[in-house]
Structure 1
Amino acid sequence: MKRRSFNTLLTSGLAAPALIGLSTGTARAQAGGKPTTIRIGFPGAGTGGRPLPTSGFTANVVFRGDLEQEFAAEGIKIEWKYYVGAGPALNEAYANGLLDFCFGHGDLPLIVGRSTGLKHKILLSSGRGGDVYFITPAASSAKSLSDLQGKTLSVQKGTAGQLTLYRFLDKYGFKEPEKQFRIISQIRDDRVAALSTGDVHGAIETPFGLEARGVAKRLAEIYDEPIINRPGSLWVGEAFEQKYPDLVQRIVNRVVKTAHWSTLEANRETQYQYWTRSGVNTYIDNKRVWDRTKDLRSRHNPLLDDYYTASIQRSIDEIKGYRLSRREVSLEGWIEPKYLNNALREQKLETYWPTQDATGKFVRT
């Protein structure tokens, strides 16, 4: 299997075939000064490039048709775009003028994009928390991660998953992952296929559906560790935000409303069924993973609290430490909380979600 460098990944191959619903930057303004289309990207797609999101309250916005309902009367179309090339491909699309919003950028591509000059404003967190599972082929004889030193691990490089893998390995004492393992870059479909044939010896994946099929088994797992799993981000392009602040507010209002809906226990099962449609995780994956979360507010959490900002800063530092980017990135002027604060106030949700301190400890439940 040919190894691909991080820089190559950002600018080539993986992005090119990965644009689902790609459109050109044609004129999009109505006579009344509003856009005809609002273009929203997800850094990922369903199995086989299926144009669907995978999980979380931002995915629920799609499945429920919330934004289509919001703008139907004005004739504004919502165009959803899904990128098999994940965060790096989404960065490329935005750089080429093909996106207005991103609904859930992971930390590594978010920060690398910012370091290359992409102009966007972070509006809210797209979710947080969750468990991390390291799996091997079902026939593997490995008993611990130490047994895999020098072996081939798979991750989609340039994505948040790369940093998650590095943190996971660091937790088990492996400080130089690229030297201690052979880490290759694959999209998820290819990674699962390689696990099934034994061409890859380990990866981070949701395990339950793969175990049921006899493809893989768990080797190690870390439960809900806030330093390992970092929050995602929902952002708007600066040009769109400056031109249409009223539309940005309406979108944030709707997203917060859906985030609240997503936290209600009565809606738990409906979400599992929504998320299964993408084919990435099976129903049993969604149920086994999310049933461990007793209070859905802790994961379906849009807040830009101390934990969120500290997490992004830690990721900035890690990216420099791993030499994934050498350019400076600052949080100053990047996060715009006013739209979220307005939505929380208008919906009387200012104290609804639990907050976490910089280390991830809950300070308000």
Structure 2
Amino acid sequence: MTGMLARFVRAAFAALLLIGAALAAVPAGAAPLVIRVGYAGIGPGGSKFVPGLAGVISGGRYLEQAFADTPDVTVEWFFFKGAGPAVNEALASGQLDFAFIGDLPSLTARAGGLKTKILMATNARDNLYLVAPAASSISRLEDVKGKRVAQFRGTSTHLTTERVLTEAGIARADIQFFNMDDATALAAIASGDVGAAFGKAIFLTLVEQKLAKVVYTTKGDPSTVTSSHLLVREDFETAHPDLVGRVVTASVKAAAWASDEANRETLFELWAKSGTPIGVFRADYEGQRLDYRLSPLLDALLIETYRYKAAQVKQLGLVRRDVDLDGWFAPKYLHAALKELGLQNRWVRYGADGKPLGS
């Protein structure tokens, strides 16, 4: 019995050694990894159906498909009712790796020391609208002086609104601004509690219902736009550059599909799942090409727009420190994706002056 016990112990010990050797041979990269992706907004009932390029990527499961052959890597999406500020908090606490977010919250986070890298544009040229109740006497931008006006502060429309007012020579002190999220502002316009509201295409919902009218829009001006982008936490990018490349490539694939005019109605139908009527998207994109609005390029115009807004946030007192843009943009992943997918000439590049390069 003693001999049998000894042989059993030796066999068990040998087996443990083999198991240990096998575990040691597994590469560190094979450990399970969850890629956490955030979006500054939320769909109906907390769903993933949101407008914009992020909605195409999440709704079409582009990221999940990119890692379908890598079972140790999974993708989780998080949608934030608190918009950009809430996403920043999640990034700062290490709860997110990537985020689809607007320019202002990213600029303020950058000034506060949050280390991220901008990988590509997602909605490079969103239009800004000023709407007023249909029966209002407000008929032009200047008429908002002395009026109660809704504005969602801290979001990507904030800085565009400020630029529009500055270029029109309208002082902020001349307007009674009220900080409201989109849902609250929509209700306030419909009820007449405010005289006007600045915001994105969601406000065309009231126009479609004939409860409001468009007083002013930035449509057609490539320099005065609201912008959003895909960014990654710097430490994640340093640790997993290969995964970052795959996320960007998948996102560029989505941008190529969304930029195809043959997909216009299908695209709007997908976005309509966000709860916004399809007619709103048709009106917002009327007269504008999809590849103009949904370009992923980090071109000279986009970077110049961010430089302007970086100065704005300091001037407006939204941050105490200068926003350092040096090293913030990381276009190498985008360039690699465009080359891999054969899309180097798919989108028009714009110069800092707002004119197409080569025109």
Q: Tell me whether 49-58 or 106-115 shows the greater mean CA deviation.
A: 49-58
Instruction: Please name the residue that 1:351 is paired with.
Output: 345
The answer to whether structure 1 residue 86 and structure 2 residue 79 are counterparts is: no
Superposed CA deviations along residues 108-147 of structure 1, whole A, max 9, x for unmatched, are 1111001111111111111222433210123323233333
Secondary structure of 2:269's aligned partner: helix
Q: Which runs of 5+ in 2 are unaligned?
A: 1-26
Q: Counterpart in 1 of 2:156?
A: 160
Residue aligned with 2:124, SS: coil
C-alpha change, 1:144 and 1:204, in structure 2 (3 Å) is: same
Change beyond 3 A, Cα 1:287–1:163: same
Shift of residue 302, structure 1, vs aligned partner: 0.9
What is the RMSD computed on CA atoms of the aligned residues?
Answer: 2.0
Equivalent-residue separation in structure 1 for 2:141 and 2:259 (angstroms): 35
When residues 221 and 336 of structure 1 are mapped into structure 2, their CA distance, relative to the original with a 3 A threshold, is closer
User: What's the CA shift string for 1:43-83, capped at 9, x where partnerless?
Assistant: 11235x64335323232111111111222333333211111
Confirm or deny that 1:69 pairs with 2:65: yes
Q: Does the CA-based 8 Å contact 2:127-2:226 persist in structure 1?
A: no
Q: 1:324 — aligned with what?
A: 318
> Counterpart in 2 of 1:95?
92
Whole-angstrom CA distance in 2 between matches of 1:161 and 1:230: 6
- Counterparts of residues 118-129 of structure 1 (less than 5 Å): 118-129=114-125
Which residue of structure 2 aligns with residue 9 of structure 1?
A: none
> Closer, same or farther in 2 for the Cα pair 1:246/1:322, shift >3 Å?
same
2:141 alignment counterpart: 145
**Which amino acid counterpart does residue 257 of structure 1 have in structure 2?**
K
What is residue 290 of structure 1 aligned with on the other side?
Answer: 285
Do 1:135 and 1:216's aligned partners in 2 also have CA atoms closer than 8 Å? yes
Identity across the alignment (%):
36
Q: How does 1:173-184 map to 2 (within 5 A)?
A: 173-174=169-170, 176-177=171-172, 179-184=173-178
Q: Give the corresponding residue for 2:14.
A: none
Distance verdict in 2 for CA 1:147–1:298, change over 3 Å: closer
Distance 2:328 2:112 in 1: 14
Q: TM-score, normalised by structure 2?
A: 0.86
Report the Cα offset of residue 154 of structure 1. Answer: 1.1
- Higher mean C-alpha displacement, 315-324 vs 31-40: 31-40
> Aligned pair 1:196/2:193, yes or no?
no
- Find out whether 1:272 has 2:268 as its counterpart: yes
Q: Residue 115 of structure 1 aligns to which amino acid in structure 2?
A: A
Where is the helix percentage greater, Structure 1 or Structure 2? 2
- Return the alpha-carbon distance in structure 2 between the equivalents of residues 329 and 220 of structure 1: 30
- Read off the aligned partner of 2:93 and give its amino acid letter: N
Report the alpha carbon displacement of residue 32 of structure 1 after superposing the two structures with TM: 4.6
Choose 59-68 or 129-138, whichever is displaced more: 129-138
Letter in 2 for 1:101: F
Cross-structure match for 1:45: 42
CA–CA separation in structure 1 for the residues paired with 2:351 and 2:254: 24
Note if contact 2:138-2:144 (Cα within 8 Å) is conserved in structure 1: yes
Matched, 1:218 2:214: yes
Structure 1, gaps ≥5 residues long? 1-29
What SS class does the counterpart of residue 307 from structure 1 fall into?
A: helix
Q: Contact 2:218–2:225 (CA<8 Å) still a contact in 1?
A: no
SS in 2 for 1:360: coil
**1:67 touches 1:251 (CA, 8 Å); kept in 2?**
yes
Match of 2:327 among 328, 333, 340: 333
Alignment length, in residue pairs? 330
Q: Could you tell me how far 1:364 is from its partner in structure 2?
A: 4.5
Matched, 1:57 2:57: no
C-alpha deviations, 1:10-69, integer Å up to 9, x for none? xxxxxxxxxxxxxxxxxxxx975454321111111235x643353232321111111112
